[in-house]
Amino acid sequence: MSDDGSFMGIPDNLQLRDLLATMPLFAGVSLRHLRDIAGSARRTELLKDEMIYRVGESAREVFFLISGQAKRATFSAGGTEKVLELLLPGQSFGEAELFSSRPYASFAVAVEPTVLLHVGGDSIRRLLETDPHLSSRVIGRLARRALDVEGDTAANHFRTSCQRVLDFLLIQIGSPLPADGQTMLTLATSKQLIASRIGMTPETLSRVLRDLTDAGLIVVDGRNIHLQNARIIRRMADAVPEQPLFPRRAKQRLPGLSATSRRGSPGATPGGAISIDMAINMAGRQRMLSQRMAKSWLLLGRGVQPGRSRKMLEQSTALFESQLDTLATVTDNDQIHTAHAAVGELWRPYRKLLESEPGSDGAKRLFDLNESMLAAAHDMTMTYEKAAATAKGHLINLAGRQRMLSQRMAKFYLFKQWDIHVDASEAGIAQAGAEFAAALGELVAAASNEPRIVVQLELVSQHWQLLQAALAATEPADPRRRAAIVATASERLLRQTEIAAGLYEELASH
């Protein structure tokens, strides 16, 4: 730790005063008072994992985070760390311990290289005696933190994991969601820290994020979370206090179809029913996953972004199986039942192949088995569209099929790199591209009176052009780097087509 009341090695109370003036706690405080406080201030630079204070130490300062990140945490009797607060630039901490004259009951540590401003407790106490506005601000801040602790305790007892994660995401936004469109949130810290803050394991957090994605409420892209505003607002408005927002078990039902009770879907409506439009979208997503799993397996075999590729394969496999289970509860239409059974029959050998170590022989088997799985998933989706028998149901299916095509083109590109069915793969890329372009034109024409969808389809078009460029590129020379570029472009296009399909599903519900 470097401990200095200076910047660039030059002591400068004026700079410290100006820095204090940027802190929300001191907004509106006179320059004279800020100058007095600056006299007790010092600036420190901490390395990652460097301790700020320890449990049991006396509280003599208030801390202001200038840059970096820190956390306040404690340990349970069993040695499990519980993050009490994630601290970001502009935040202060240490007030409660200072004004209660108690030693620290938690510890604080930098989670990345961090710059802190320490302000002496005596100077702050003197200022509080002369500035009632600051006193009120400090009291309000301490009251909010007490309420936060109370809210955390209640949430841990009465709210589901999905609700707690969604609450956390909405708090990070800091303002009400707009009525439509999407809101992007970039997670400022690691998922491990977030999980500890919410009170769950990292594995549970990953599962919950998949559940929220499956429900169509978010789209996850690394640390970027795209919140689907209208769906979240509608889901929260429909919830009742005694009913979980995301029931783990529920009856799933299509209009006119009876259903047996099975493990529910996060996409279920509050009454336990899944609409036929939701079923079309979910079944269509199975088509996409059939291609994405093959793409991930082929990437893994080429050694392209192995960690990310394996995670993509595992997540896609889990989601496919979960959705297949959900769709199994709405198969009392004979045609749907038959189509669903065909997918289930193929899933067992398909999953077994995907669990095997990638190799040339497996890739050759995958080429044919993947096509069979796609055909079965497409047939299942079509049975739901036929059951709906609406123009909007057709558009949901068509928009959802674009997701599959984004992954299909990348899959064929990788088969070419594996030198497997090269001619057929080239033809597959060309055909999928032509189908994507034709469907995009149809979707744009159908959305002429829906500005949100028009804007989203423009994003789809832009990312489609980027994928086309990646597929045609001959640089860089390293084929694995080209494969990584194609894979990334296909994932970005997938994200935009997923949002578009969700908008068409929303349109059908109005």
Number of residues in the chain = 510
Using only C-alpha atoms, the chain has a radius of gyration, in whole angstroms, of 27
pLDDT for 228 equals 87
Query: pLDDT > 90: what percent of the chain?
Result: 41
- Do both 152 and 228 map to the same domain? no
Residue 136 lies in a domain: yes
Q: In CATH, what number is assigned to the domain containing residue 132?
A: 2.60.120.10
CA distance 455 to 350: 37
Residue 244 lies in a domain: no
Q: Can you tell me whether residue 17 is helix, strand or coil? A: helix
What's the distance, CA 408 to chain centroid? 24
- 185-199 pLDDT per residue, tens: 888 788 888 888 888
Is 160:169 a contact under the CB 8 Å cutoff? Answer: no
Question: Which among 115, 139, 156 is the end of a domain?
Answer: 156
Number of neighbours of residue 120 by Cβ within 10 angstroms:
17
Residue 243 lies in a domain: no
Q: Across the beta sheet with 114-120, what order do the strands follow?
A: 2-4, 41-46, 114-120, 61-67, 92-93
Is 417:474 a contact under the CB 8 Å cutoff? Answer: no
Residue 472 lies in a domain: yes
- Do both 88 and 174 map to the same domain? no
Output the six-digit token pair for 319: 């989601």
Q: Which helix (H) or strand (E) holds 251?
A: strand 249-251
- Do both 326 and 396 map to the same domain? yes
- Do both 183 and 148 map to the same domain? no
- Do both 429 and 371 map to the same domain? yes
- Do both 149 and 164 map to the same domain? no
Q: Which range marks the domain in which residue 370 is found? A: 249-265+274-509
Residue with tokens 């749907």: 336
Query: pLDDT > 70: what percent of the chain?
Result: 85
pLDDT for 303 equals 94
Kindly indicate the confidence band of residue 151, based on its pLDDT and cuts at 50, 70 and 90: low
- Do both 133 and 163 map to the same domain? no
Residue 313 lies in a domain: yes
Q: Can you tell me whether residue 222 is helix, strand or coil? A: coil
Question: Which among 105, 129, 156 is the end of a domain?
Answer: 156
The pLDDT mean for the chain works out to 83
Output the six-digit token pair for 109: 């540590």
**CB neighbour list of residue 348: distance below 8 Å, 6 or more residues apart:** none
* pLDDT of 433 above 70: yes
- Do both 89 and 179 map to the same domain? no
- Do both 172 and 148 map to the same domain? no
- 51-99 pLDDT per residue, tens: 999 999 999 999 999 888 899 999 876 777 888 888 888 888 988 888 8
- 3-39 pLDDT per residue, tens: 554 443 334 667 788 778 777 777 777 888 888 888 8
Question: Which among 156, 174, 201 is the end of a domain?
Answer: 156
Average pLDDT over residues 209-235: 84
Work out how many domains the chain is built from and give that number. 3
- Do both 205 and 284 map to the same domain? no
What HEC string does 439-464 produce? HHHHHHHHCCCCHHHHHHHHHHHHHH
pLDDT for 200 equals 85
- Do both 406 and 337 map to the same domain? yes
Q: Can you tell me whether residue 179 is helix, strand or coil? A: coil
Is 459:478 a contact under the CB 8 Å cutoff? Answer: no
Sign of CA dihedral 342, 347, 350, 353: negative
Is 333:257 a contact under the CB 8 Å cutoff? Answer: yes
Q: What is the pTM of this model?
A: 0.56
- 354-406 pLDDT per residue, tens: 999 999 999 999 999 999 999 999 999 999 999 999 999 999 999 999 999 99
Kindly indicate the confidence band of residue 245, based on its pLDDT and cuts at 50, 70 and 90: very low
- Do both 281 and 409 map to the same domain? yes
